[in-house]
Amino acid sequence: MKSWQAIIGIVAISLGLALLEVPPITWWTPATLSLACGISALALMATAAILAARWPMMEGLFGGLDRVYEAHKWLGVFALALASVHLLFKAGDPLWQAEAILALPSAGTRFVRQASFVALMAIVILALNRNIPYSVWRWWHRLSGPLFLVVVAHWLSIKSPIELGSAAGLWLAGLSALAVLAAAYKLLLYPLVARHGHYRVVKVSRGSGAAEIELEPISHRARFHAGHFGFLRMKADGLREPHPFTIASAPSADGRISFVIRALGDYTTKLIAEVEPGMHADVYAPYGRFERKPECEREIWIGGGVGISPFIAWMRDGEADRFEQVTLFYFFTPGRAFPDVSVLEAMARDRGIEFVPVSAGPSSEAFTQRFGQIAQSVDASQLDIAVCGPRGLLDAVRRAASGHGLRSGAIRHELFAFR
């Protein structure tokens, strides 16, 4: 499921249920528009809270946790937009039979109404603001669950034609109950019951503002496949915030796991500088659906910067074969490549993979010429293109593919950033 499909589906259901609760003569009025937008905003916000719980069934529905987080973001954005329309117009009409589900004093009802919009606005703005340090952002964003209760209180206390036992009432009550359950699970139970393993750092390799951290299991090792990612939580002061990183290793008999991490923010800079062998960590995994598809006749792997990580894992997979059908393009900035280009080239050579380093960007001849040769030499249905890197790289690959008659939808990609 795509983000837009989830949003349109939820809004369509909410609109249809809103129309069932009011006389048809009032359907084309600002009051009904406000009511429908209010129901939709609450439903979208509740769904966003459900997705934030990281339940495996949601990951399966959207095709990976990276897609779940993308949907989570856009659900919040559209919830705020629809709530703004709801605030602009009064959701009431003389022809409606309106009562509050939960009666509050008039002053309390008015306060909750204003507070609910402020709460939703604060949640979305905090979630989208990339300038807030992650340590601060994470704790502020944890307030989303409690703030959602304010929005629910507004729905219950405002006079509306929606009764709790009506279709619209059951729709909102069911979603709200799941959202509260999801928020409680994420805040209280997730660290205890989520899929995770306990590890100890055994090796740290640093270079060019990046590092590869190798860990060995102590107990409850994470079960993953090459290409998955996990949340790394170091058990050290100042490094306890869980962050998502692609796993740069394949499953092995000793259960070791490694991450290639670049200093891209305050936390990753501190992590690379301070992590040392002997430190303990929790790894919450596996997540993601970025796995190899060797059944195709030809494969193109495209990694940009630290986006090379899943392809390192694929090359390290001792159970995999048919590497001779693979071409790996590695986009890097000279002086900042990690692992070093020579290291990656040796790994590719050992696996029989064609390795093409690209330091001049996706418009360079090194990429466009070889990419075009491969695209023209094989049937489009037998070509698998996998991309992991910054958004600009993905857009450039899509343009190159389109120029050779390949659909952009045929390009598989891992979302490069959650925030």
Where along the chain do its domains lie?
A: 3-193, 196-287, 298-414
Strand, helix or coil for residue 327: strand
In tens, the pLDDT along 202-238 reads: 999 998 889 999 999 998 888 899 989 999 999 998 8
Strand, helix or coil for residue 87: helix
Looking at CATH, the fold of the domain delimited by 3-193 is given as: Four Helix Bundle (Hemerythrin (Met), subunit A) (1.20.120)
Strand, helix or coil for residue 329: strand
Mean pLDDT on 116-137 = 71
127 pLDDT higher than 80 = no
129 pLDDT higher than 70 = no
Query: What's the token pair of residue 405?
Result: 């008659």
Per the prediction, the chain carries an average pLDDT of 89
In tens, the pLDDT along 300-335 reads: 999 998 899 999 999 999 888 899 999 999 999 988
Strand, helix or coil for residue 412: strand
Strands (E), 135-279: 196-207, 210-219, 229-234, 243-246, 257-262
Q: Which of 207, 210, 209, 251 is nearest to 228 (CA)?
A: 251
How far, in Å, CA of 396 to CA of 130, rounded? Answer: 24
Q: Do the Cβ atoms of 124 and 79 come closer than 8 Å? A: yes
418 pLDDT higher than 60 = no
Residue 130 has a pLDDT of 65
Q: What is the DSSP string of 101-167?
A: SS---HHHHHHHHHHHHHHHHHHHHHHH-TTS-HHHHHHHHTTHHHHHHHHHHHHHHS-BS--TTSH
Looking at CATH, the fold of the domain delimited by 196-287 is given as: Elongation Factor Tu (Ef-tu); domain 3 (2.40.30)
105 vs 140, residue with greater confidence:
105
Q: Do the Cβ atoms of 73 and 44 come closer than 8 Å? A: no
Out of 48-57, 96-105, 126-135, the most confident range is 48-57
Q: Do the Cβ atoms of 303 and 310 come closer than 8 Å? A: yes
Q: Is 209 left (phi over 0), alpha (psi -120 to 50) or beta?
A: left
Residue 346 has a pLDDT of 96
**DSSP H/E element including 46:** helix 30-51
405 pLDDT higher than 70 = yes
Identify the bridge partners of residue 200 per DSSP, sorted by sequence position: 216, 280
**Is 3.90.1150.10 the CATH number for 298-414?**
no
DSSP-based helix, strand, coil % in the chain, nearest 5? 50, 20, 30
List all residues 6 or more positions away from 96 whose beta carbon is below 8 Å from its beta carbon.
Answer: 22, 23, 26, 31, 160, 161
Mean pLDDT on 99-119 = 80
Residue 296 has a pLDDT of 86
Q: How confident is the model at residue 167 (pLDDT cuts 50, 70, 90)?
A: very high
**120-154 burial, b if ≥16 CB within 10 A, otherwise e?**
beebbebbeeeebebeebeeebeebbebbebbbbb
Q: Do the Cβ atoms of 69 and 203 come closer than 8 Å? A: no
